[in-house]
């Protein structure tokens, strides 16, 4: 098996990338590993980078699965502070030029970069997570019905709350995160109209740190807890760790997002306060795109995951959540109604 350790670079030109690899001590085996075709999946992380215990780590899990199954060389590249769309495009283009295929931008912020790089490298398959705006023949738009899993999180919150107040913390005030808020609030209200939903966004733009500032998440959650919220749901990337920390400190429930945060090693000391997580299977989407390229039938266009496909869901890792028969029955009923179309979940 060819293998390469994680790449962490700021530059984007191939020569700069190679230099950074050397400086970071990253290694690559096999003298022929630079030839086209030897390299497989490469991902470029969103704000927060690897280690966010959420969105980016889910993408990395998909990369690791592909690497293990297909035995090829992979790369994962960190974002840099204050980078431009041109920087992102150079990063993706550099990976494509080196022979990686597919190349995936993790997050909607890569939209312009993926479009530009895909036009320059028409024989490479590109993917973008959480954006459906690119209509290019060699691009797969990997998107999800996050509002559906969030609706189930709302059911769980409403059924669990004793104070009749729950909270939502969004990382950045953008349409993508509005989907999480809308589904959650609808799930709460349709389960128990008496439950109040407190909502707060941490920043207006990602550049202000809404997805990468646990301290901001902690402060927002503490404010909601002071107002009697006893279940707080965060859709805030790395900032969500602060929400979970605040929930644990105040002995209330947190609901995680994207990954099964109850299982995350970095959050282990808080896991007894994580009721469930509204998951979207970014790992599966990333792996499936890699497999489609490996099979010679690359996915393109909009590739959507929802409750019906199983790519959005609630985690059952916490035994207190999984063993609550009444709660599980309510969630099952809601899930069935969403899949059948009886419940139409709002996305804004």
8-state DSSP, 109: G
Dihedrals phi, psi of 276, to nearest 5 degrees: -165, 180
- Specify the residue for token string 């804004």: 348
Confidence (pTM): 0.82
Output 4 or 177, whichever has higher pLDDT: 177
Residue 130 has pLDDT above 50, yes or no: yes
pLDDT, one tens digit per residue, over 10-20 is 333 333 333 23
303-318: average pLDDT: 95
Distance CA 148, CA 197 (A): 17
Angle, helices 85-97 vs 111-120, to 10°: value is 40
- Tens digit of each residue's pLDDT (9 = 90 or more) over 82-122: 899 999 999 999 999 999 999 999 999 999 999 999 999 99
Task: Kindly tell me if the per-residue pLDDT of 56 is higher than 80.
Answer: yes
CA 155 vs CA 149, 176, 262, 326, 341: distances in Å: 10, 20, 19, 11, 17
For the segment 67-92, the average pLDDT, to the nearest whole number, is 94
CB 329, CB 337: distance < 8 Å: no
Mean pLDDT of the 152-175 span? 98
Assigned CATH class of 40-144: alpha beta
Quickly state the pLDDT bin for 38 (edges 50, 70, 90). Answer: low
Q: State the Cα–Cα distance between residues 221 and 215, nearest whole angstrom.
A: 10
Which pLDDT band holds residue 36 (cuts at 50, 70, 90)?
very low
Contact 257, 54 (CB under 8 A): yes
Q: How would you list the strands of the sheet with 165-172, edge to edge? A: 196-203, 165-172, 231-235, 253-258, 274-280, 312-314
Which of the four pLDDT bands, split at 50, 70 and 90, describes residue 1? very low
* 68 contact partners, CB below 8 Å, separation of at least 6: none
Burial 98-137 (b: 16+ CB within 10 A, else e): bbbbbbbbbbbbbbbbbbbbbeebeebbbbbbbbeebebe
- pLDDT for 259: 87
Is residue 35 scored above 80 in pLDDT? no
Q: State the Cα–Cα distance between residues 121 and 118, nearest whole angstrom.
A: 5
pLDDT at 268 over 50: yes
**pLDDT surpassing 50 at residue 30:** no
Confidence of residue 46 (pLDDT cuts 50, 70, 90): confident
Residue 23 has pLDDT above 60, yes or no: no
The CA–CA distances, whole Å, from 339 to 64, 155, 265, 285 equal 31, 15, 32, 20
Location of each CATH 3.40.50.2300 domain in the chain: 40-144, 146-280+318-340
Least reliable range by pLDDT among 15-24, 98-107, 238-247, 285-294: 15-24
Q: Which pLDDT belongs to residue 190?
A: 98
The region of weakest confidence among 23-32, 53-62, 79-88 is 23-32
CB 306 within 8 A of CB 280: no
CATH topology of domain 146-280+318-340: Rossmann fold (3.40.50)
pLDDT of residue 22: 29
Nearest to 107 by CA among 50, 184, 147, 39: 50
- Across the chain, mean pLDDT equals 89
CA distances (Å), origin 164, targets 149, 220, 251, 309:
21, 19, 16, 32
Predicted confidence (pLDDT) per residue in 173-219, tens digit = 999 999 999 999 999 999 999 999 999 999 999 889 999 899 999 99
With tokens 């494509």, the residue in question is 96
């Amino acid at each position: 098996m060819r293998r390469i350790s994680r790449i962490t670079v700021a530059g984007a030109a191939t020569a700069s990338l190679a230099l950074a690899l050397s400086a970071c001590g990253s290694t690559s085996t096999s003298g022929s590993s630079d030839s086209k075709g030897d390299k497989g999946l490469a991902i470029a992380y969103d704000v927060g980078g690897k280690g966010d215990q959420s969105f980016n780590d889910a993408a990395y899990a998909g990369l690791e699965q592909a690497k293990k199954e297909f035995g090829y060389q992979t790369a994962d590249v960190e974002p840099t502070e204050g980078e431009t769309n041109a920087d992102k495009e150079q990063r993706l283009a550099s990976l494509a030029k080196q022979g990686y295929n597919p190349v995936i931008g993790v997050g909607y912020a890569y939209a312009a970069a993926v479009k530009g790089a895909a036009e320059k490298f028409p024989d490479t398959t590109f993917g973008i997570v959480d954006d459906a705006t690119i209509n290019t023949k060699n691009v797969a738009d990997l998107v999800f019905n996050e509002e559906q899993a969030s609706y189930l999180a709302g059911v769980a919150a409403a059924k669990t709350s004793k104070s009749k107040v729950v909270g939502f913390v969004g990382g950045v005030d953008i349409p993508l995160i509005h989907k999480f808020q809308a589904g959650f609030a609808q799930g709460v209200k349709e389960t128990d109209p008496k439950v109040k939903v407190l909502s707060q966004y941490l920043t207006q733009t990602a550049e202000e740190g809404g997805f990468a500032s646990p301290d901001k998440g902690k402060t927002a959650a503490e404010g909601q807890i002071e107002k009697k919220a006893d279940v707080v749901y965060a859709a805030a990337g790395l900032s969500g760790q602060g929400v979970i920390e605040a929930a644990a400190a105040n002995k209330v429930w947190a609901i995680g997002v994207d990954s099964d945060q109850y299982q995350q090693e970095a959050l282990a000391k808080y896991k007894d306060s994580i009721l469930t997580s509204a998951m979207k299977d970014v790992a599966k989407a990333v792996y499936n795109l890699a497999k489609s390229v490996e099979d010679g039938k690359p996915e393109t266009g909009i590739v959507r995951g929802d409750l019906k496909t199983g790519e959005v869901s609630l985690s059952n890792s916490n035994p207190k959540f999984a063993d609550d028969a009444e709660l599980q029955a309510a969630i099952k009923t809601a899930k069935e109604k969403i899949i059948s179309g009886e419940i139409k979940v709002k996305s804004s």
